[in-house]
Structure formats: C-alpha cells, structure tokens
C-alpha cells in the first residue's frame, strides 16, 4: 500500500508542474515499495535527483515571476532537500529501511499541504502573469520598481 497516491485536488492547471508532481508521487511510492538493499538505494537516489530538479524548476519560475530569493516557498524547498540529502547520506553509510520509511511518511504528509498551498499560489501567480512554463515567456511582466514577493505568492501567505 502506498503512503501517497495522486489525487485530483493536487492538479493545479499547470501541465508541466502537474507532470512533475505526478512523477514525485510515483517516485515516493517506488521508494516506499523498494525492497531493502540496492533497490532502496536506487529508488532513494531517483527520488533525490527528481526532487532537486523539481525544486530547481520551481525556483527558476519564481525568479522569473519576481519572487525574492528568501521567499517562504523556497525556504521550504531548502528544508526538504536538506532532510532528503541527509537521509540519503546516512542510508548510503548504513542502510536503514526504517529511516527511509520515516522519510517517505514525512514527505507523504508534507506534499499535499505544500502542493495545495505553496504550489497552488505559485500556479495562481503564473496564471495571473501569463507565464508559460514550457517557454519561460511572461505576458504580464512586473514593473521594474515592483516589490519582490517574499511570501509564497498567495494572499494568505505572509
């Protein structure tokens, strides 16, 4: 049984973002299902590599949309990557299925909240500004003197 399965409420009407999120959920399930040993190492490494690229992609988008480098969405990415890298490091030194299991459970709990709040706010900002994630083009760029977005991009985020 997987800890997290893709659900319709995760869709953000941003095809590239949605595909990346489906991949994340699938890799999380594969990590959970991997047998101890080499399969776990491979699945954990694939999850880490995907998550690095996933977050880098969102960071590029936020930069193009006028988010400040220290925005709360980016800080959450940094925290998740720090934990994921540490678990991968520890697991490489001494395989620990329980540690990987805790990571999977924590990410499965974190992702729905992150996707439906932080990523939804990013998707909303992308839509409002006419941002095309495939080409990087922006129909409604910010004025040169506009304040950078330091929250997550949503009205309820400080």
- Looking at per-residue confidence, does 147 or 22 come out higher? 22
Average pLDDT over residues 84-107: 95
Q: In the predicted model, is pLDDT for residue 37 greater than 90?
A: no
Both structure tokens of 18: 């949605």
pLDDT given at position 158:
46
Q: In the predicted model, is pLDDT for residue 156 greater than 80?
A: no
Please state the separation of Cα 31 from the chain's center in Å.
Answer: 16
Q: Is residue 129 within 8 Å of residue 138, measured between CB atoms?
A: yes
What digits encode the pLDDT tens for the residues 48-59? 999 999 999 999
Q: How many CB atoms lie within 10 A of CB 122?
A: 26
Instruction: Please give the model's pTM, rounded to 2 decimal places.
Output: 0.90
In this structure, what are the phi and psi dihedrals at residue 20, rounded to the nearest 5 degrees?
-65, -40
- Going by pLDDT thresholds of 50, 70 and 90, the confidence category of residue 154 is low
Q: CATH classification of 14-138, choosing from 3.40.630.30, 1.20.120.1200, 1.20.120.50, 3.40.190.10?
A: 1.20.120.50
Q: What is the mean pLDDT of the chain?
A: 90
Distance in angstroms (rounded) separating the CA atoms of residues 122 and 33: 31
Average pLDDT over residues 14-27: 97
């Amino acid at each position: 049984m997987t800890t997290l399965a893709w659900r319709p409420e995760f869709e953000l009407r941003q095809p590239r973002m949605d595909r990346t999120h489906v991949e994340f959920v699938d890799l999380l399930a594969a990590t959970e299902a991997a047998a101890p040993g080499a399969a776990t190492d491979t699945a954990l490494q694939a999850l880490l590599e995907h998550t690095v690229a996933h977050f880098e992609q969102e960071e590029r988008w936020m930069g193009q949309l006028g988010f400040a480098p220290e925005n709360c969405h980016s800080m959450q990415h940094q925290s998740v990557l720090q934990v994921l890298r540490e678990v991968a490091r520890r697991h490489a030194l001494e395989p620990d299925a329980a540690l990987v299991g805790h990571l999977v459970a924590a990410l499965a709990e974190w992702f729905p909240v992150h996707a439906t709040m932080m990523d939804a706010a990013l998707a909303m900002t992308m839509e409002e500004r006419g941002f095309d994630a495939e080409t990087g083009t922006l129909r409604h760029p910010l004025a040169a003197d506009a304040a950078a977005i330091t929250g997550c991009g949503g009205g309820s985020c400080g």
